[in-house]
Each structure stands twice: as C-alpha cells, then as structure tokens.
Structure 1
Amino acid sequence: MTGRPDEDSAIPRPYDGETAWAQQLLGQLRPAGRDPRRLVAWLARTTRARVCLLDAHGHLLAGERLPLDAAVVADIAGGRLSAAALEDGEGHARLVGIRHQGPAPAPGAVLAAARPAAFDRHTAEILNHTAGALELVLRERELTEAAGRLRRATADLRLAILQLLMVEDTVSARRVAAGLWPGLLEDDTARVYVVESAAAERDRLADACLDVTEGGALVVRCPAMDGHVIVLGPSAEVEERLRSLVVGRPGTFLGGSPRQRLALTATAYGQAVSALAVARFRPDRAAIYAERTRPAQLMHPDALRAWSAQVLRPLDTLAHHVRAELLATTRLGLEFTAVSTAKVLGVSRNTVRARMDRLAALLDADLSALTVRAVAQMALNTEAAHGPCDPGGTAPRRPAAAQLADLLRTSALRSWAERLLGRLDTDGRDLRGTLRAWLAADAHAERAAEALGVHAQTVREHVRAAEPVLERRLTAGGTDLYEVVLAHLVTGELTLPALGPANRDQPDRPVHR
C-alpha cells in the first residue's frame, strides 16, 4: 500500500500540535461543509492515508475503493465488531464502525483508512473522531432525506384528497384527511383559490401558502398547471391571509370561488381559474369569481331539474360510484382540456376520453358539437347543484320533463340573451355575425372563415375582440363560452341540439356517428 501525497501543505498536520486537527475537524462540520466526501478527503490529507467510506452493503459512499477483507467489513457494518486493525506485510489498515442511529437496529457504515506506516495514537484518534463526525453528518443526511420523503408523501396525500373531492367522493376525502388534518373538511362548504406565480417559484409559493394558512386549508401543487397552487379553505380567514401573501409577492396572482358545497369542488375550481384571469388586470392582483346572473337562474327551477333528470336518466342503471365518476370527469372535461382534466384527476388522457365517450354514448350525445356540450354542461351542473330529481319516481308530484325549447322560452331569459349579445351591435366590424358563424362551426376559425368568405385570422381577431365586450372568455372554452352559446340558442341564432327530451321525436333529428 502507498500513502496519498500531501495535497494541501497549508493544512497543519496533527504532529504540529495537539489540537490543530480537532479545530480543522470542527470546521468541516460547519453548515456549508457537511459533506461526507469533504470529510473523507480531509481525513486522507491529514493522515496521509487512502480513505474510503462504505455503506452497510459495502457500496462506496466517498473516497477510493480499498482492497479490504469483505468478511471484516461485514462484521463491522453489522455491529459484531466496533473496529479492526489489519496488516498484510505491505501496509496497515484501520476500520471503524459508524453506528446507525434509528428506532430499529440496522447495519451501519464503515470508515476505512490504509497507509504504509502503522497508525500511531494521533492518527488513530483522528480516525475515531472523524468517524464520530461522519456519524452526525450521515444522520443529518438521513433525517433530511426522510423529511423530504415525508413532505412528498404529505403532498401526494393532499393531492389525493383534492382528487377525491373533484369526483364528489367527499366521504373518502374526509376519511383520508381526518388522520393528518382533523376538522379540515368538517364543514359541508368551502372556497377554492388558485394562486399563480412563475413555475420556478411554485414550490416556495406552496410552502408560503402552507405557512400563512397554518393548517386551516388544503394546499396542493396543481398537477395541471406548473405555476398554480390550489388552496381549499372552509374559513373566510383563509382568503384574508392569501390576499396578504399576494400583496407581498410581486408577480403573484389570486383567484377565488364563492362558497360551494364540497361536492362542487370541481365547479369551484373552474370558478377560481376564471377569477384568476381577472386578477391579472387588478391592481391588488386578486379577484373572486363574480356571481353574475346565470342562464339557469332564469329558467323554471322544477322544469330545469326535471329536464336534467330526463337527460341523465340513461345513467341511472349504472352503479353509483361509476355514475358519479362519469359525471365528475365529464364536468371537468367540458370545462378544461382532456390533458388538464387528466392531470387534475390523476388519471391518463385516454381514461378521461374513455369516460366522456361512455357518457356520450349513454346519452346519445355528440360532445364534439359545441351546442351539445353547452346543453350537456347545463344538465350536469343542475344535478351537481341540486341533486338528482327523484330518479325513482317516488314523489307524489313528480314534474313532467320539459323540452329544451320550453326551458329557453322564458321572457327573462330572452331579455338576458338579447342584452348580452346586443353589446356587440355597436362595433362596426360585425363582431356578432363573426361570433355566430364561429360558434356554428364549433369554434373552428377556418370553417367559420370559409362560411363568411374572410381570412381565418380575421375570425380569430373578431372573437378576441368580442371577449372584453361580453366580459367572458371565449377562446379558452368552458362556462363563459357555453353561456354565450346558450344566449344564441335563446335568440334562435343557433339551432337547438338533440339532447334530452327536446327534438327526439322530430324526423330531422341528426344521427350521431
């Protein structure tokens, strides 16, 4: 064996004094220097030896591989020996065990040093004390890794709770949350917030949200959007704390939903995302979803529920959990893209599409048609908000199912639709005509442009220009777009789709392929 040459003559040797090496060893334990590789390299220079650090299985952690007796290494790692000194005629080696500090007995690490000269008292003392320092460093690393695993597991658990709420499984969500966050989901209602920052800042933002809410909210890194943190909080205090957090963090925005039932978490999430778009233009960078008049509010409530029940009746033969899964997935899929829906629910895109295709087949609905999607969302949201409308028919006065045309015929709804679309009439570019053609083409700019005899870019520009006039997002899809579609159905500017009891007896009812 040959010793390592002196690599740093500026470092005092143990023979220069009794305490110089101890001061150097303490210096290796400063926060910036707590690295087993640095400690091993320092030991090699100080003792002029070849040094290695092995884990419990004999794998090299730091230093250089030495020709050691495997049986001796195993005995020291297993605790049967605390230390050993070896000599083979060419050099000397010393091995010291580093105990595993944990709740259960486990093999430890082994620190080994080899050099031509024998180990005197000084070098043996340095070796033993370095082993003690390495025990502290390895224990700190182990605790850090365990804390990281715990953080990741806790984050995964919070995401799982959110995903259960997204598919309306509030019972399971409460059971999962009860162990770590007792009382968090005791209330039947909550608000959902989405906090946005740069993607690189998202982890720090999530930690800040956890700190300010102090366990009073469910904080989840959004699986669909890299810059989003989702916060579900039952208390109004959560909003105050998130607003104060946004004020102190430039480039951060907050969107929130009104209070919703836990079963409507998916709806609340969509509302929070919509509010976030508004927050980007607010001085305080925060906005709560405005509860403006919705088309469904202007329809006869009993007739709307009866119509919704009639539309969804083909699903009543399914098992309850399957039915709920299809409805929840489709509601999200109508609001967001299949990719985003899959990430939020923790399933694949193919699973989302398969569930939506199955629901569409059961309802005999062509969900590729924009008008069908708008009407289907109205039926799904009606049941989500009010529950099934006596699907078993046990009520003594069960309302007769209305047709869609009847639902859209109220004078209040007509006035709402005409006021909304009338905003576009003041623009000289015929935004209303372009928007109507774009909707009739299922939001395809090229097909609308062909029908109008203009360039597709003109269609896109007109649709974007209509968004601030109508105060609704159109190109992003979702509820805002569907409301504008319903307005066109009310005014007769779009043809009523074939869904539910409406139009099913008409001879010209389209066939879905």
Structure 2
Amino acid sequence: MPTLHFATSVPHAGLRFVEDCPSADGDRPLEGVLALVPGGDLEPALAHRHLVVIQRHDPRLGDPAQLTRTLARLKRAQAAAVAVAQPPDASGVPAALRSAGARFGIPLLSISDEPAHWLVLHRALTQEHHAKLVRTTALQREVLDQIHHLGQPDGTQRIVGWLASALHVHAAVVCPGSVVTAAAPADAQDLLRPVHGEIAKLADGGIRSAALDVGGRQVRLFTIGDLRPAPVLALTAPAFPLEANSVVARVLDLLAAQSAVEKTTRAGARLGRGEAAVRQAVLQLLMTGHTTDAQRTAAGIAPGVLDTEECRVFVLKASSRTDRPAVIQQCQDAVGASALVSACPAFPDEVIVVAPCRSTDHDVLDGLTQVAQDAPRRFLGGSCVHRLGDTNQAYLDASRALTVARRIPSRVHLYITEIQLAHVLDVRAWSWSQTYLAPLLGLAEDRRSHLLAALRLGLDFQPAAAARILGTHRNTVARRLGEAADLLGTDLQDIGHRAVLGLALEIRSRRLHRLQPDTEPVEINQLLDTDEVRRWAEQFLQPLRTDRKPLLDTLAAWARANTHVETAATKLDMNAATVRSHLRDAERLLQRRLLIAAPSDADTEPDIAGAHDVVLALATLCDDIVRI
C-alpha cells in the first residue's frame, strides 16, 4: 500500500511535510485523498487511511474548539494525515492546527491549492495501490488455484462456491446491513438468518471471529479485511473438518483481496469519471473563451497539452453512442499526450479532440484518421488552425467538416481544404464586421464573452445542444441569444439575418483584413457586390446545375420562405415531400446540411449549420432572396 513518503514524491501534487512537525510519520499507509467541504460535515468512514485536505478558507481553521473536534474524529477514523491546501508562497499552517496535530498524533502536510493537483495525487495513490495489489495477487495465484477468481465480477461467488464445495458447508458473505452478496448453496442465507444479529456485531468491530451452535448446527463467523464496518464470512455445517481452519484462513485472504480489488475497481471507475468530467470542463472553458482557466485545469490531467497559442479541433463521430467509449480510448492511445480528448457534451456519439499546433500535427491527424477508418460508420472532421482562444470557432469548422465527411467515401474531411466566403471578401470586411458587431463589442468583457460564445454556437446548433457544449442551461443560452439579438437589432428567426450575423462573427474570429487601414462604412449588400464574391457564389452553387431537377429554383424559393418547406412548396406548386427531396439532393451536391433536424434526432444532429453559406451565395446572385 502506498505511504505518505510515496505521496510526497508524486510530481505536480505539491505535497510536503510541515517543518518541525513531530508526528510526521512517512510510513503511514495511504489509500487516497479526501477533500473536506469548507464548513461541511465530516463522514469519518471516508477518512480511513486517507489524506484529508482542509482548504485554507475553511472556518474550522479559525475555531480551535471545532478544529480539535475535527482532528479527534479523524484520529478515531484512522486518517493517515491532514494537509492544508495553500499557495506555494503561504507562510505556513495555523498554530492551532499544529497543536491539535501534535496532540492527536496526526501528521501535518501542506498541498497545492489547485483541486486538479489533488486529483493527480489521488490517481497516483489509486494506481500505486492497485499495482501493489496486483503484485500480491500474482504471488497468491501460485499458492491457491482459486486466486484466478480474483478481480472477476463474480469472483466472490466463485470463491464462496468453491469453499462450500470443498468443506461441505453452507457459506455466505454478508455485507453491512445484512446484505448477502454471495451464498452457496442457494439456501445458505436461510440457514444463517438466525445469526444476523451476531454478524452485525462482528461487522461493527471488536472481535474478528465467533463460533456458535444454532439448532444443532455449528456456525463460524469471520470478518473480512480491516475496514469497519466489514463484510463477514459466515459458515454453517453439522461439523467442520479439521482442515477447515487453514483453508478458511487462506479464503479470508482471498476474499479480502477480492474486496480490495472491487473497491479499487470502483475507485478507478470513479477516477475515470472524474477525469472525463475534468476534460469536459476544460473543453467548455475553451468554448467560452476562458483560456487561462482551461490551461490551469488541464495541467492536472495532461501537463503542457494546452501550452500553445494555436490549435486545431477534430470531431470524430462514432458508429453509435455505445461505440463512443471505445473511440475515446482509441483516440487517447492514438494522440497520447499530444492532444486533449473529451466526450462531446452535446452529441452522445461524438468525440472532440483539441490538438495544439506543433511538429506532431501530422501524427495526431494520422492517428485520428486511423481510428475513424478502423470501423464502418465512423467519420472525422477537422478544423483549420485557430487561436486557442477561438476554440469555439474551430469546433464549428470541425463540425461543418464532419458534415462533409459523412457524405464522401473517405469519411475524413478537413475544413481548411474549402474556400469560404469570408476568405474572398475585400479589405472592407473587417471594418464592416466591427461596425455590425459594435453594440456587442462595446460591452464589458465578461458579458461580451458570454454573448459571443452563445452566438457562435447558437447560430449553428439548437439551444439544447449549444447549452451542453457550453456547460450551461438551455434557457440561459436562449436568454443570451435574445439579449444579443436585441443589442444588434437583428431577428434570429430570419435566416438572412442569421447568415449575415454568422458572417460577421466568422470575419472577426478569423481576423481577416484586420491589419488593413480603416475604410469607409459599407452595407452588407455592398460588401457582397464584388466580382470575387460573385465568382465564389457561382462556384459554390455550380454543383446544383449538374442535376436535371430544378434544385437552384427550389433552394431560392426555400430561402425566400425563410427555410419553411411547406411555404416554399406552395410557392413552387410542389408537394412538400418533393421540396424535401430536392433539399436532400442539394445537401449531397453542396456538402452542407440544410434540413432542420426532426424532433427524434434533434439531439444527435446539428440544426442548419450549412444554410448560411447557401443563403449568402443565393443573395449574391439572385434578386429578392432575402432582405439583408
């Protein structure tokens, strides 16, 4: 089992003994880290053999009486040590804590005040504990053939079943609360029901074994492991063979090891869930522009991975939501420490990878491409290079690329390979975007960043999906979208207004023509009225002309109807199903998603992420498409 000395050697944890602490026993066994909620209740059972972290603003540190009671409870719970969370330049631990620690013989340490570092330490302790347990298991396997059941989900039942068969007894493992977790034969728990009171006494501590006679049968009870309350091995038989004692002693070791393995497995699962939550939190911090906070948080799980100015974002769509855990693991294996891998908070079958722009770019892309091509119905979309602070824009690029990837044989597409409208606008674009967005850009930083983040995602995803990506409530996203629309004087229910707003945000995000001198103010129609833009629009819409169906006319009517299919069908004197069929053909030819997701798949598909480019191209070439 790891010790306090081992814990102080874990990199990045910032754990060290308090100087001149008389009770600094570095050989104390240590199982994990327990952080106390400031002013909250202490659950003594959770503190057993744990490093208990007290945060520096915890009111207990300023109340000697309360502090004494807390350390007394930790002493009874057999806590390994107490650590005060504080910054590196802190002057030391309070004198009252030193006095109480010396009084109760509890080692005192200091630890970094970054919660991510506590997670690093807890993970290291769990891994060290598990590693030592595995080594012990390997030795026991050579002694007892039953050792191969350890670690299996039904390991306890198999060991109990073997014991009952070998000794011709009825056996059961009873956990605190009289919960029978394993029994053999099946009626064993019925025979042991009269001694549940004695089993409860053993579980609570005091004695470790007991022998009883109940109704002419012998009953033997043994506690398993060192924890309290403890599970109890209960055996009953008319008489026990002579070899029972030695066999039971070995089986108790096996059951204790099995219990520890199960506990470690549960702890590992919790740790995995915790690390996944931290990765998702880092992603959401990046999505909302909190770059520094994201870098600090990521340092605890992947040191240095976000120490970069620029990044690319990849979105990998798994075959199904049940395939995603395997895809996450494969992505982590493929990129190693070169990128941040996280489950997508919005879509349950997608994985997001944030890759710093370094010399390993090709390795990351090659590795993710291999993961996508390892199984059918997997698709990969990648963004072009963005500043780390514009991760939300990079994510949108990757999502758009993913839409294209789902419509091409290679199943992999990079957004950088496409020419976008923003790229062909002239030097007036930056000035226009700044003027258009001025009511937003003039807000205080915190409010501005929240509204811009909501807009960037809210224009391309439904509010529920945008909220999950940003880590907030859908009502909050809807409120921020409404607030931004009011400030800008735009109608987000109008596809033309949404397209223009999306273009302004993209110009600002990509910082196109930012270094050009100030130009005269222009309207959007003037900005689009250039030969370069018309050539872009002609090239963009050209695939529609290759189809024998009047796809361009259908799209124009659909845009004039503000993307309402039924209205467009009436104007065209067509069936609504025909209009939808034309739109699907246009999706295939333009490699853009146009149809709004149905209620059944609204949580697994973007909204109309491709419609903005189509509307702007149509507005450039056709009259009276939309009023922008």
Query: Secondary structure at the residue paired with 1:68?
Result: helix
Distance 1:474 1:34, change over 3 A: closer
Cα distance in 1, alignment partners of residues 545 and 217 from structure 2: 96
Deviations 1:238-285 (CA, angstroms, capped at 9, x unpaired): 112222334444443322122221222222222223323433455543
Amino acid at match of 1:474: L
Distance 1:154 1:387, change over 3 A: farther
Describe how 1:120-135 pairs up with structure 2 within 5 A: 120-135=241-256
Give the C-alpha shift of residue 34 in structure 1: 5.0
CA contact (8 A) 1:28 1:34 kept: no
Tell me whether 264-273 or 447-456 shows the greater mean CA deviation. 264-273
Cα distance in 2, alignment partners of residues 435 and 407 from structure 1: 23
Describe how 1:435-446 pairs up with structure 2 within 5 A: 435-446=555-566
Residue of structure 1 in register with 2:334 after alignment: 212
Distance 1:160 1:250, change over 3 A: same
CA contact (8 A) 2:311 2:355 kept: yes
Cα distance in 2, alignment partners of residues 197 and 264 from structure 1: 25
Q: Tell me, which stretches of 5 or more residues in structure 1 are unaligned?
A: 1-21, 391-396, 499-513
Among 186, 193, 205, the residue aligned to 1:66: 193
Is 1:91 aligned with 2:229? no
Among 413, 426, 434, the residue aligned to 1:309: 434
Amino acid at match of 2:195: L
Residue of structure 2 in register with 1:490 after alignment: 620
Is 1:222 aligned with 2:348? no
Describe how 1:188-199 pairs up with structure 2 within 5 A: 188-199=309-320
Deviations 1:274-322 (CA, angstroms, capped at 9, x unpaired): 3234334555432222443322233333x33333233333335644223
Cα distance in 2, alignment partners of residues 281 and 307 from structure 1: 34
Tell me whether 453-462 or 76-85 shows the greater mean CA deviation. 76-85
Cα distance in 1, alignment partners of residues 409 and 528 from structure 2: 39
Distance 1:399 1:29, change over 3 A: same
Residue of structure 2 in register with 1:176 after alignment: 297
Distance 1:254 1:172, change over 3 A: same
Larger RCO (alpha carbons 8 Å, 6+ apart): 1
Query: Secondary structure at the residue paired with 1:366?
Result: coil
- Over the residues paired in the alignment, what is the CA RMSD in angstroms? 3.1
Structure 2 length-normalised TM: 0.67
Cα distance in 1, alignment partners of residues 211 and 464 from structure 2: 62
Deviations 1:302-347 (CA, angstroms, capped at 9, x unpaired): x333332333333356442232122112211211222322332233
Cα distance in 1, alignment partners of residues 439 and 248 from structure 2: 77
Query: Secondary structure at the residue paired with 1:191?
Result: strand
Cα distance in 2, alignment partners of residues 157 and 286 from structure 1: 28
CA contact (8 A) 1:94 1:112 kept: yes
**The structure with more radius of gyration:** 1
Distance 1:73 1:408, change over 3 A: same
Give the C-alpha shift of residue 79 in structure 1: 4.5
Give the C-alpha shift of residue 67 in structure 1: 2.5
Give the C-alpha shift of residue 370 in structure 1: 0.4
**What is the aligned-residue identity percentage?**
34
Residue of structure 2 in register with 1:108 after alignment: 230
Amino acid at match of 2:162: W
Cα distance in 1, alignment partners of residues 258 and 343 from structure 2: 31
Deviations 1:405-444 (CA, angstroms, capped at 9, x unpaired): 3322233223333444455456553322221110111111
Cα distance in 1, alignment partners of residues 313 and 387 from structure 2: 11
Query: Secondary structure at the residue paired with 1:52?
Result: strand
Amino acid at match of 1:457: A
Tell me whether 364-373 or 275-284 shows the greater mean CA deviation. 275-284
Residue of structure 2 in register with 1:480 after alignment: 610
Give the C-alpha shift of residue 473 in structure 1: 3.6
CA contact (8 A) 1:194 1:276 kept: yes
CA contact (8 A) 2:403 2:591 kept: no
Tell me whether 461-470 or 365-374 shows the greater mean CA deviation. 461-470
Query: Secondary structure at the residue paired with 2:437?
Result: helix
Amino acid at match of 2:530: T
Query: Secondary structure at the residue paired with 2:194?
Result: coil
Query: Secondary structure at the residue paired with 2:182?
Result: strand
Cα distance in 2, alignment partners of residues 154 and 111 from structure 1: 35
Amino acid at match of 2:333: D
CA contact (8 A) 1:98 1:108 kept: yes
Residue of structure 2 in register with 1:409 after alignment: 529
Among 478, 487, 509, the residue aligned to 1:362: 487
Is 1:466 aligned with 2:596? no
